[in-house]
Structures are given as C-alpha cells and as structure tokens.
Structure 1
Amino acid sequence: MPHSSESKTPTSAYQSLFPIFTFIKPYRGTVALALFFLMFTAGVSLSLGQGVKMVIDSGFISGSVDQLTSTILILIAMISLLAFGTFFRFYLMSWLGERVSADIRTAVFNQIVRLHPSYFEENRSGELMSRLTTDTALLQSIIGSSFSMALRSFFMLLGGLAMLFITNLKLSMIVVICVPLVLIPMVIFGRRVRRLASSSQDAIADIGTYAGEIIQNIKVVQSYNHETLEQAAFGQEVEKAFDVAKKRIKQRSFLFAAVILLTFAAISVMLWVGGTDVIAGKMTGGELGAFIFYAIMVAMSMATVAEVYGELQRAAGSATRLLELLDIESAITSPINPLPLPHKNDDRKNGVAIGFHNLDFYYPSRPDVAALRNINVTIEHGQTVALVGPSGAGKTTMFEMLQRFYDPQKGNITLNDISLEQLSLSELRDVMGMVPQQPVLFSTNVMRNIGYGKPQASKDEIIDAAKRANAHEFIEQLPEGYESFLGEQGVRLSGGQKQRIAIARAILKDPDVLLLDEATSALDAQSEAYVQEALNKLMVNRTTIIIAHRLATVIHADKIVVMDKGQIVDTGTHQSLLISSPLYQRLCELQFEQAK
C-alpha cells in the first residue's frame, strides 16, 4: 500500500496530527485541568529564577544568616509547589495519553473488523497489526508525555525570554539573535526525520508479517529443515529495519547536537558579557545568576522542543497511517433502509429460498479472470443442494457470495425474492451457519468457542449443542472440561474434535441456511462417522448447501449442481446426472473406482 506521508510537505506533519485531536475532545475537562497544572508548574519554574536572585543578593552578599535562611525557605516552598504541580501534570497527561491511545486502538480495530474481505487480499495482516499496536503506542507516548513536555517547554521558553528581557536587556538581545540559528536545524533535520520515521514503521511491519507467517507455519519450516534458512532471511529483514532506523537516529542526533551546540555557545557568550558587567558594577551577582538561570531554562526548553519536534515528525507518520486506515470505506455495507427478511426459525418451510440470477463475479485481486460466469440456480426451502466439481470450479466463491463477502459485477442473489444488497448484513448473516472444511477455533476455552455461535447462550444450551454434535464426551475428558484452553487455532485437539466443535457452534446458532464445505473430507473413518452423524442431525429441516468433494456423501441430495471453470455445466439428481453429465460421470468413476 502506498504511504502518502512520504510525499507530503513538512507542514503537513502537524496537519496529519490535527484529526487525532478529535479523540481528545471527549476529555476536555481533563485537558483543561492538565493545562492548568502545566502552566502552574511553568510559572513556578520561572519564579525559581527570582528565588536564585534573592538567595545570592539577599542571602550570600548581605552576609545575614537570617536573610539566607528566609530566602532558602522561600526557595524550598517554591520547589514544593513545583513538585505538587508536577505530580498532577504528569498524572493527568499520562492518563490522557493512555485513554486516547486506547480509544484510537479500539477505533482502528472496529474499522478493521468491518472492512470488506477483498481489502485483506491486498493488505498484509502484519502491517495492520503494526498500525494497531506500534503506531498507537507511539501516539500514546506523544499525547501522554512528549506533547506535555513540548507545551511546558514552550511556555517556559516564552516566559524565560520575557524574564531575560526584564532582567537584562543587553544580554537578552544576544538570546534573540541566537534563537533563529537554533530553529534552522530543527526545520532541516525534522523534515528528514519524518520521512525516515514512516519508512521505519513500514520496515517494522515487514518484520512482524514475516515472523508471524513463519511462527504460524513452524511445522512446515521444521519438516523441510529450513530453520537456518529462515533465521538468515529474518536476520536480513531485521537488518533492513535497523538500517532505516540508523538513518533516522543519525538525523535526530544531528538535530540534538546542533541545538545544544548553538544554545550553550550563546550561553557562554552571555556569561562572558555578563561577567564583565558584574566586574564593572553594571549589574549585581544576583541579576547575573538569575539571568544565567533563565538562559539555561531557555536553552533546555529549546532542546526539549527540538527533541519533541523530532518525535512529532515521527508521530505524524503514524497518525497518517492510522488515519488512512480509519478513512477507508468498506465496499460491503448494509443499506441505509434495509428491507426485512421474512423467515421463521420455528418453521423451516417458511424459511429462506435462495436464487442466483445471471451472476458474474471477478475477484478484485484477479479482475481479468471470471470466478463465476452466468450462474443461475434456485434453491427451495428445506432443500439439500450439493455443489460438485473440480478444484477452482467456483464452489467456495458461491458460499462467499451468498454471505455477501463480495458483490457481483453482474446479476444478483436473492433470499425470499429480496436482493442481498437490500438486506441488513447482520440479518443476512444471522440466518446462515457455516461449517468449513478447516474449522476455525479461537485461542480460548471450549465454552467460548462453541458459544461464538450464540454469545448470549447459557451453559446448558452450549452443553446441549455439544451433545448433539457428538462432542460432549471428548470435551468432558479434557483436563478442565468446557473450561479447557484449546491453544492457538485449537492446536490441542484432533481434526475430528475441531470439526465437532465447529458443528456444535453451528447447532447453537440454529441457522435457517446451513453451508457445509465438505466437513468430513480430511478425517479418518471413525472421526468421519462421528462428524457425519452430527451433520445429519444438524441438516434436519434446514436449507442446506454442501460443497462436496466426496460424492458418496451427497448422492441423496435433492439437487446436485455440477460446476467447472466458474460455470454451472449441469443440474439434477445423482441418477439423472449419471446419464446427462459427462463431467459428473467422470468424477463418480474416479472416486468409486478408488473406493473399491
């Protein structure tokens, strides 16, 4: 995906951060309180310069212990106020950073789960995870810490400059001359830092994507003895990211070094000029001490602003990446005024009838190759319909179209004579239950995996669904029963056990339309017997569509749709297709001959 942050002008760094403030608006009260304590601590810090002047002129030079004691006590009181204000400033700004970061992370995740499936064909999951974690963490640091430091330093910079003029006009003019010299490297190096920051974030995303893929397929890597090969390849990815980071760090280091050199060189000049004035009696030692205090404060504030400026440049890249994602509009959305879908769960005869009408479809990632062409098929209430054909015939694509993961380029699909695009997505998908060939289980316990089909279900309902799926017995034998953790993608279960958990989930959902993607093809004979029995129970009185690779499982289907190269080549029953369809005959001959 292109990253527009690299092509924008330097001024857009702040423009790209402005939309982030919409996430701060709900916490205006906290912001106001934090700003109050921020200005309070800045004011107290500035008053310390006068405390230093009092200690020198009224304490040291006067020679009075009482006056010295009084001025020291006043100084301690100021420092105590500074500590009090700093506590609240730091707490409130840090709280705000964490809160806004959590809100942004939630908004990004909410956006991701609503996006159309074709988006994930064109964008890597590792990059999306980087935006969800690394980018939001960087913004949290900016809002909760760096932004607070920048504001405080800015106030102290302005206040310090004012106090410098009040304390000594001649020395202040030296400061005024030096300030533009400090700003020049901030602009030059800050621009470079921002460009490199965006590249650095992309490189980190590449690392996450690569590592995630290897870890997910670790058994394949080890079975081919590619551990060393993958270690070397991952090392190269890490080095690429390090090289980009090294360039960014180099530019930031130049920025800090230039600011420190110029500011403290100016302070050295002021010390010489001020020292000669004290020797000549033109100013007191306390005035010089206060002026040096304010000059150092201004220098430190400038250094902090320079450092935060680099951070803001880096955050601008993250903000741009996040806003790009938040601005994406899903290609698959519910209509503003959806039509109601008439169906009754308690009477399957009044359930959902399905129609594919003159349907053509091309995947967005393969726009030149038709996945489906001129599809016309009607599925009546309560029918069991099988989709058969060689791999790549378009069977799974029909399932995806039916659940409206994609919209056709031509034609339409109807449920009860209502086009899918006129229905609410949630209502459409609510009447369908999917049992895939490779069941998807989440890294949680059995209870929550089955309960995913109906989040509000009671424990008794979940156990009943497990019993109907022939899963209750093996679940009870797990170490903690229904509370047993299944590991990533259900790694602690066998293939047949995973499949029965997926069937229990579908039973719990109690859908009008059941979609079965050959749920028994990868199982051994005993597991297949358990799963097939569970499926037979699930299919009773439902409209069922089966993707069938093993024709023996669908010879009793009400209708068999034979597909090849994205087209329907014949439709009928098992017996009629043995006569009318050469492709079906060939598939049957191959499978039943092998079964002998």
Structure 2
Amino acid sequence: MTSSTTGTTGTPDTPDTSGSAARKGSLAAFKGLLPYLAPYRRQFLLAGIALLFAAGATLAIPAAFKQMIDHGFGASVGARGIEHVNATFLALFGVAAVLAVATAARFYMVSWLGERVVADIRAAVYRHVVQQSPAFFETTRTGEVLSRLTTDTTLIQTVVGTSISLALRNTLLFGGGLVMLFVTSPKLTAIILGLLVLVVLPIVLFGRRVRKLSRDSQDRIADASALAGEILNAMPTVQAFTHESIEAGRFQHSVEGAFGTAIRRIRARATLTMLAIVLVFGAIVFVLWLGAHAVLEGNMTGGDLGQFILYAAIVAGSIGALSEVMGEAQRAAGATERLLELLAVRSDIQDPAHPRPLPPRLAGGARVTLDEVSFSYPSRPDSAALSHLKLDIAAGETVALVGPSGAGKTTLFQLLLRFYDPQAGGIRLDGIDIRDLSLHALRDAIGIVPQDTVIFSSSALENIRYGRPDASDEEVIAAAKMAAAHEFIERLPQGYGAFLGERGVRLSGGQRQRIAIARALLKNPPLLLLDEATSALDAESERLVQRALEAAMVGRTTIIIAHRLATVQRADRIIVLDEGRVVEAGTHAALVAHGGVYANLAALQFGAHAPAVA
C-alpha cells in the first residue's frame, strides 16, 4: 500500500527553518504582529495616556527636590522655610498618588493587551496549521508546532504585555530626563552625551549576538518538545522493545543541548547587561564628579546638583532598563520570526476562487471518474504511485481495490479526498472536477473509515458525533447500533458519556474500529471509503459489522480497500492494482477463473479451499 510517510522536501507548505529569517532586524520581525495589534487601538491609547501621566509624575520628582533644597533648606530658619518644606512634601505625595494610579492603569491595560493578542495569535496559528495539507505534516513534527504555540507565544506575550510598555516608559523617561538635564546644566549634559555615544556602539554590536543565540535557544527547545511528543505518543512500542532507558537518554541529550544553548544566551545577555551598566554609569559618575566641583566653585547651587543627580539617575536607569528590554525583545524577535514563518506557509491544496456546487444528491450515491490520473509523491518525484489510471465507478456501485502493498490503493483515497492533487489527469465527482469544488463541499460528501482509527480524548458520544456535529443523541445511538458498537458502549462505566482515553487507549482495537465506522455512518455521505474497515475485528464482530456495512452501502457509492479477500467477494466489481495501474477488473468469480494476480492472491489466502487457478 502506498503511503506518504516520507518527508517532503522543497514543497511550498514546508516552513523555513534554515534560519535565514533570523538575519532580519528585530523591528522587521515585530512588524508582522501589527495585524494582531491593530484591532486594539483604543486599549493602546488608554495605556499610552496612563504611561504619559506616570512618566510625567516621575520626572516631576527631581524638580520638587530642587525646590526643597534651595528654598527649604537653603532659606533662613523660620516659618517660611518650614512652610516651603511642608508644601514640597505635600506636592511630592500628590505626585506619588498620580504615579500610583497611572502605573496601575498602565499595568492593567498592557497586561490585558498581552493576554488578548497572544490568544489571537495562538488561535490564528492553530487555525492555519489545521488547514495545511499532509505534505506539511510529513516535514513538520507535531512537537515543534506545539512549541511554537506555547513557548514562542509566551515570549511574545512578554513583549506585548510588558516589554513594549517598559520600552515606551523608559524612552519617555530618557527623553524627558535628558531635556531636564540640559535645562539644569547644558555643559555637564553635553559631556554625558559625548561619553554615551562612545559606550553605546559596543553595546549594540554585542546585542546582535544575543539575538542570534536567542533564536538558537528557541529552536533547541522546539527540538526537545518534538522528541518528547513523538515518544509519548508511542509509549506501548517503546516499552514493548524495552527502550525506556534509550529514549530517556535521547531526551536527556536533547535537553542538555537546549540547556547549553540557553546558558550561552544567558551568559551573553548577562555580559551585555554588565557592559551597559558599567559603561553608562561610569560615564554618569564621571560627570557628577565634575558637577560636585562646580558646586564647590560656586558655579551651581546644591539644588541644581541634586536635581541633576536625580535626572541623571533617571536617565541611567532608563538606559539600563532599555538594555534589559532589548534583551527580551531580541529573544522574542526569534520567536516572532518562527511563528511568522509558520503563518507564511501556504498549502498547495487550496479552495478554487469560484467553487462550483455539487448537484443535488441522488438516492444512488455519487459517480466517481478517474481520467488518466498520474501521481508521484513530492518526496519521490521519480516513483509513480499512480500511472495513467482510468476508472469509472457508477453511482451506488461497490468497488473493492486489492493488490500488493505499494500498488496505489491508499494513494487513490488520498487523491479522492484531495489531500494531494495529481500531476496529470483529473478526478470528477458527479461530473465535476474535484479541484472546482470547495474542500469543505468535497470532503463533506465523503465518509472514510481509516485503517488506523483515530479516537479523540472525549466521550463515546462525542467521538461518534464527530461525523456530524449537529446530530442528535438519538441519531448517534442509531449509528452506533448499525456499527455493532452500541452493546459494548452501553457496558462502559458511564455508557455513551464514558471518557475513552487519549487515542482511545481504554478500548480494544475492534472497539475503536466500530466507533470509527459509526462515525462514518452518522455522516451519511454519498461516497463511502473503507480502508481495511474490519481488519481489527474478531470473527463475531466482523460478521456483525459486515452486515451493518452492507446495509449502509445501499444508496451510496462505496470503495473498499481490503487485503482480506473474504471481505470483498460480494463487491460489484473488484479492481486489482499493481504499481499504480489497473491490471485486472471483474467479479470475484470471474477473476479467480481468469487465473491472474487476483487468483494468486486468493490461492494464498484461501489455501486448499481456493478455487482452482490456471
């Protein structure tokens, strides 16, 4: 049976993990977030107003201290000096009250924005991922996608909910403090600025290395998550082969790799912070030393120097905070790029610009026509899975596909569901090329019972209702009865409300298969695809389900993939595929009498009881 498990390389729906995006600037990466920020302009405006009030209150504090020093302590002892000190401290309390209210309002608004925007991004990424074609999931591990949905979005939440606010706040404090430094002492301020120009360059250059390491750190975390997800989903196999220690060692190695990269990032960021603080504060201390000499020489008042010191502290603190914010922003830039790469992926399988509707459903099911269909998987372009396949299945006909593994049977199902498009030829459903139908309309007309049954972590009722979400409880139970599932479901502790466990671990293989059959029957589609639908059933269950399926096939077109020929002997027609071509077609009796590929397969399965073959 042809499968599509091999990775696809170079396809349009493969995310770029080469790291080329990491060479973009941080601002370029964050521009991709603008569509998610735009709907909340009002909240950003309110946060900005609160930010302005908080910054203004902070910048007013040094001016109050200057007044207190020069006109309070500096005044002659008496009622006037005491009154000035009292008024100054009363004003300081008022400033503190304004600062408290504005800071609380800013914190609430930006935190709300962080949570809201990240929720929108997570929903958008998930919605985008579930619409990708199978080629995307051949090359992208589930754990990596989950890492981007959780770890990467958490970093973006930090930026939107904290870092942007802190950056704007400290930018305002830096600008306002710088202006007030000029007002207080233009000479000392000019010296500070000259020194800052010399110290900022190495900080910027070192910051680029921090950003690259941040991107690498996120990639290693995603690798570890992907490995863990893969192993946890295969625990029975891991334990059956006693690979617990091996897999634990593999994960430990992956975690240690992520730890090593994180430590390099942390070390670089710590060095960046140290460099920024030492250089900036060193420059400020030098200038303040000059200011102290100016006071001693009578060129400045004590209040001017006190005010200058406080504003210098505000400017220095804002620069230090901005360097911290820059570190977070650089780390989040890598996470943003990874998410934007994921959102930029476009599937080859798209809805047509102007979808055509399917004709009204008739009682006989759907007609399926394959016209010279040729297809190769993108990962194996030189190996044809189907080659010039011609097949016309009448409405209401039951057709069985048989043949050796790799013959193209499952590939045909994948093309019918338009998981892939053929490179040549076309497929028509009721006379309409399936590429002219919307994906929803096409897949809504098809019911499938896969060989590998998928059971979701919910109740039996909801697992069956997955076939038709608007179905009533009575319709769900009726479908379960048709699939011979009602009896064992009723015996579950909570009946139809019983939780079936992750991937249906609380059910046997046959029970899971009957749940899947009930799901397909509930959908009631005109075209039914059965991929080894009874392969996991015991003899008694198979007999019950086979009878239910035969009843369900009435009034619809059914295509069956089967290796067990006993399940397809009553098909209207049996199509024998080999290397992607139809090599034989006919009824069971005719094909056995013909003595070809099918007759050989029948002889192998039925042994001595097989009809004579040529």
* TM-score scaled by length of structure 1: 0.96
Partner of 1:127: 144
Q: Does 1:291 align with 2:308?
A: yes
Quote the Cα distance in structure 1 between the aligned partners of 2:609 and 2:120: 58
* Counterpart mapping for 1:296-335 below 5 A: 296-335=313-352
Q: 1:160 touches 1:295 (CA, 8 Å); kept in 2?
A: yes
| Alpha-carbon distance, 1:594 to partner | 8.1
Quote the Cα distance in structure 1 between the aligned partners of 2:98 and 2:414: 65
| Alpha-carbon distance, 1:527 to partner | 3.1
| Alpha-carbon distance, 1:5 to partner | 4.6
* Counterpart mapping for 1:295-444 below 5 A: 295-344=312-361, 347-349=362-364, 351-444=365-458
Q: Does 1:35 align with 2:48?
A: yes
Query: 2:482 is matched by which residue type in structure 1?
Result: R
Q: Does 1:496 align with 2:510?
A: yes
Q: Does 1:144 align with 2:157?
A: no
Q: Does 1:518 align with 2:532?
A: yes
Query: 1:425 is matched by which residue type in structure 2?
Result: L
Quote the Cα distance in structure 2 between the aligned partners of 1:76 and 1:536: 85
- What SS does the aligned partner of 2:168 have? helix
Q: 1:433 touches 1:515 (CA, 8 Å); kept in 2?
A: yes
Change in CA separation of 1:61 and 1:431 when aligned onto 2, cut-off 3 Å: same
| Alpha-carbon distance, 1:146 to partner | 0.6
Query: 2:493 is matched by which residue type in structure 1?
Result: P
| Alpha-carbon distance, 1:6 to partner | 4.2
Partner of 1:541: 555
Quote the Cα distance in structure 2 between the aligned partners of 1:19 and 1:570: 55
- 1:580 paired residue among 586, 594, 599: 594
Quote the Cα distance in structure 2 between the aligned partners of 1:207 and 1:551: 44
Query: 1:162 is matched by which residue type in structure 2?
Result: V
Q: 1:6 touches 1:195 (CA, 8 Å); kept in 2?
A: no
Greater shift, 228-237 or 50-59, is seen at 50-59
Quote the Cα distance in structure 2 between the aligned partners of 1:399 and 1:9: 42
Partner of 1:158: 175
Q: 1:496 touches 1:531 (CA, 8 Å); kept in 2?
A: no
Query: 1:551 is matched by which residue type in structure 2?
Result: L
- What SS does the aligned partner of 2:474 have? helix
| Alpha-carbon distance, 1:581 to partner | 4.6
Quote the Cα distance in structure 1 between the aligned partners of 2:198 and 2:318: 15
- What SS does the aligned partner of 2:317 have? helix
Partner of 1:103: 120
Quote the Cα distance in structure 1 between the aligned partners of 2:419 and 2:449: 16
Greater shift, 48-57 or 211-220, is seen at 48-57
| Alpha-carbon distance, 1:179 to partner | 2.1
Greater shift, 27-36 or 122-131, is seen at 122-131
Q: Does 1:469 align with 2:486?
A: no
- What SS does the aligned partner of 1:385 have? strand
Quote the Cα distance in structure 1 between the aligned partners of 2:502 and 2:578: 36
- 2:242 paired residue among 218, 225, 230: 225
Change in CA separation of 1:211 and 1:9 when aligned onto 2, cut-off 3 Å: closer
- The CA deviation string for residues 70-97 of structure 1, in whole angstroms up to 9 with x for no partner, is 2222111111110100111111111111
Partner of 1:450: 464
- The CA deviation string for residues 339-381 of structure 1, in whole angstroms up to 9 with x for no partner, is 221132xx422x3100111111001121121111111111111
- What SS does the aligned partner of 2:528 have? strand
Count, aligned residues = 592
Query: 1:275 is matched by which residue type in structure 2?
Result: A
Greater shift, 15-24 or 427-436, is seen at 15-24
Quote the Cα distance in structure 2 between the aligned partners of 1:595 and 1:493: 35
| Alpha-carbon distance, 1:7 to partner | 5.9
| Alpha-carbon distance, 1:391 to partner | 1.2
Change in CA separation of 1:353 and 1:317 when aligned onto 2, cut-off 3 Å: same
Quote the Cα distance in structure 1 between the aligned partners of 2:556 and 2:351: 25
Among the aligned pairs, what percent are the same residue?
A: 50
Q: Does 1:89 align with 2:133?
A: no
Partner of 2:94: 77
Query: 1:100 is matched by which residue type in structure 2?
Result: V
Quote the Cα distance in structure 1 between the aligned partners of 2:372 and 2:378: 19
Partner of 2:63: 50
* TM-score scaled by length of structure 2: 0.93
Quote the Cα distance in structure 1 between the aligned partners of 2:254 and 2:215: 16
Quote the Cα distance in structure 2 between the aligned partners of 1:594 and 1:212: 47
* Counterpart mapping for 1:473-488 below 5 A: 473-488=487-502
Quote the Cα distance in structure 2 between the aligned partners of 1:474 and 1:594: 36
- What SS does the aligned partner of 2:32 have? helix
Q: Does 1:529 align with 2:546?
A: no
Greater shift, 155-164 or 493-502, is seen at 493-502
Q: 1:570 touches 1:581 (CA, 8 Å); kept in 2?
A: no
- 1:277 paired residue among 294, 297, 315: 294
Quote the Cα distance in structure 1 between the aligned partners of 2:304 and 2:609: 102
Partner of 2:8: none
| Alpha-carbon distance, 1:221 to partner | 1.4
Quote the Cα distance in structure 1 between the aligned partners of 2:490 and 2:61: 71
Partner of 2:574: 560
Q: 2:30 touches 2:333 (CA, 8 Å); kept in 1?
A: yes
Quote the Cα distance in structure 2 between the aligned partners of 1:391 and 1:4: 35
Quote the Cα distance in structure 2 between the aligned partners of 1:214 and 1:595: 44
| Alpha-carbon distance, 1:186 to partner | 3.0
Quote the Cα distance in structure 1 between the aligned partners of 2:23 and 2:348: 30
Partner of 2:10: none
- 1:173 paired residue among 177, 190, 193: 190
- The CA deviation string for residues 527-574 of structure 1, in whole angstroms up to 9 with x for no partner, is 323432332332222111000110001101000000112221111110
Quote the Cα distance in structure 1 between the aligned partners of 2:595 and 2:262: 62
Q: 1:171 touches 1:270 (CA, 8 Å); kept in 2?
A: yes
Query: 1:417 is matched by which residue type in structure 2?
Result: G
Gaps of 5+ in 2: 1-14
- The CA deviation string for residues 441-467 of structure 1, in whole angstroms up to 9 with x for no partner, is 111122221111111122222222222
Quote the Cα distance in structure 2 between the aligned partners of 1:420 and 1:220: 39
Quote the Cα distance in structure 1 between the aligned partners of 2:544 and 2:209: 63
Greater shift, 115-124 or 530-539, is seen at 530-539
| Alpha-carbon distance, 1:575 to partner | 0.9
Query: 2:478 is matched by which residue type in structure 1?
Result: D
Change in CA separation of 1:221 and 1:553 when aligned onto 2, cut-off 3 Å: same
Change in CA separation of 1:594 and 1:175 when aligned onto 2, cut-off 3 Å: farther
- What SS does the aligned partner of 2:385 have? strand
Partner of 2:4: none
Change in CA separation of 1:133 and 1:297 when aligned onto 2, cut-off 3 Å: same
Query: 2:153 is matched by which residue type in structure 1?
Result: T
Quote the Cα distance in structure 1 between the aligned partners of 2:28 and 2:609: 68
Query: 2:447 is matched by which residue type in structure 1?
Result: G
| Alpha-carbon distance, 1:272 to partner | 1.5
Q: 2:21 touches 2:337 (CA, 8 Å); kept in 1?
A: no
- What SS does the aligned partner of 1:541 have? coil
Partner of 2:35: 22
Partner of 1:196: 213
| Alpha-carbon distance, 1:434 to partner | 0.4
Quote the Cα distance in structure 1 between the aligned partners of 2:134 and 2:298: 79
- What SS does the aligned partner of 2:559 have? strand
Query: 1:588 is matched by which residue type in structure 2?
Result: A
- What SS does the aligned partner of 1:443 have? coil
- What SS does the aligned partner of 1:24 have? helix
- What SS does the aligned partner of 1:522 have? coil
Quote the Cα distance in structure 2 between the aligned partners of 1:141 and 1:262: 27
Quote the Cα distance in structure 2 between the aligned partners of 1:2 and 1:326: 11
Change in CA separation of 1:192 and 1:180 when aligned onto 2, cut-off 3 Å: same
Query: 2:248 is matched by which residue type in structure 1?
Result: Q
| Alpha-carbon distance, 1:235 to partner | 1.0
